Structure 1
């Protein structure tokens, strides 16, 4: 992999795939910081080309003459390309281009969360076969350094839980609902006006974006292959102003959380530890109430934060801008410098760590708590009937309160820890009761020890 003593000062050439919000900032930083990059890498770093869909499209920066090309496949296959930065997103053609780049001897830096969450193992296997690197810090939480701490800084520790706000759009919407009393539709419209939400916000508000990031976080934290399909996903489109108000009354705030947990002490059907030593991974994305005292509760606006719990280090918090051209480009450039240094030294990074091969628990086996708001008939015996419904499914009630009278009577119940399957069955039971007019809100409650 070393170019030999006679070629030590040959410039490392970088191909950039995409010149949109992030790609244009990567190009700018490579051009503006050429001197610093050369000093940090030990070799000059220069652009070999920038692949785009249209040469004449308007761009935030001026790309030097001769660098723009619409032939991405040809660019990544060039013999003089040492490093490829992929910031076009999506599954194809990104996957084909990355595999080709690795096959032709280039290391890759990617910000492609969707591809990594769907087919990361294929990319890692090709990188290992080619003896090259693939780095992807920018795929999760923008500028926040979280993937490398999980894979390197905490490599000698045992991570037990990762809890994160990893989508700035949804955090802005929920924060707006909390601070102004706005409904979901109103807060979403404002987020779109400010550029925090896309015209089609589905990937953000329905949790697809966060689910892909959760899969990547869980894979690194627990040394097991987790895909986006393994992640239980719920969005925030059903969160109401009443949910936000109820959370406030409980001393909580509502956040869309990516939750990755290492479950231990699990038993198989015969009552003994299962094949994975009684361990499995639980990964989910959904709105949840968290206490105001929790560090994630204070994350406001479009910011992101990831809270990590481990055996030796204890509790760690990573916070910062989770999106945007310049912040995300910062993460890309950090990976680019590392990949370039490895290229110069003739080494490569540690690659994928999936030795634990832990199973992913079905959502029904995940343990959590519920906040349930129930419109009920205001008559004697209602509370007892509701309590019996919880008891029949093995769910203990932590608190219960009644709000309103007569036609406005409502019970608000917060459960103790139970499996999601038990809690879901309880809610369905409640919906079938004669005394229940409607189960108006169901939301999980996170934070605190089980």
Structure 2
């Protein structure tokens, strides 16, 4: 899809903090022709024609989609991740007809046959949205399915349940090389916007323009998330980065840009766009910068921290609070920090290639149990099952355990299976979590 995946320059990143992200335009040659006409035509049609027009087996797909809605819930899947620089792409093969939900992005795909899904987030063209009187309400997903089997998409929104948008306030934009059109949702649930699709490219959620949104929503809060990342010590100084982000932004998109450890905590809160917030700690000895920051709807491509907490040496726990400009507490959590890294931030484990793979795992065992995330563990289990290292029973048993017990089960079971299995686990961890594998001297 031309013009959607351009990288942002380093200069753009340096100006990103506390400002809205500057996004590149699509190819000027195409949109000088299409932008005014395509937008005008698509909005005047109220998107009904976009929903109705389905050149292939529209009736069959409708029937299948309706049947699928009778299922209790979508089947959750953990996609295969591929990271190039800080860009993440997702891949999953649906085993057959059904409704499938991505555990990373929250996207739900309704498919009518076995099919491979390939998708990633791409940059919005903010100027094009503004010219249409719209603003981004979620990531823009570039989706491909070679089998053309997807008949319905459910895109996660960040509206609070008591403030679901009124008719026409929230819609789905479909972006192609020829321009963009707006699709009227089939339904808006408390978590997703459902739209019927006939062919794939880029899809994302949009609101009416910012000023109209303020009038309609009367500054009602949206669902948001507070993410914490702990940087490795640098010259004895350790920094806890605090991110205020909309809830429908995938964690995987943020974590790939951070050379830091994500601290898993309850992250849900409600925030108001363009309102000022502050971060405080129960201990006054921590310096926090800035004093106040506005909450923006940042959907990438860059994610600078909203706040930085400068920790004192040997800090093990702290309580972090987020308050609005009136001093009302909107989020609070006690934070247990991982053990600090030694010296330069690297693990002291020996990076000796002469060691057998199972010996290397044994040396890394304690930190592996402490540091590997539940998301990565589930992906490792999928890969171990696919490779035949784990049986179905072993995988199911491990999934029922807590994160620490799951990590302990994975690394101990693999070590007992010998050098080949241990080498495979090391390679898989290096692919799925380069940061942790590097810190454990496994790469």
* Shared fold, TM over 0.5: no
Smaller-chain TM-score range? Answer: under 0.3
Q: Which has the higher contact order (CA 8 A, sep 6+)?
A: 1
Q: Normalized per residue, which structure has more strand?
A: 2
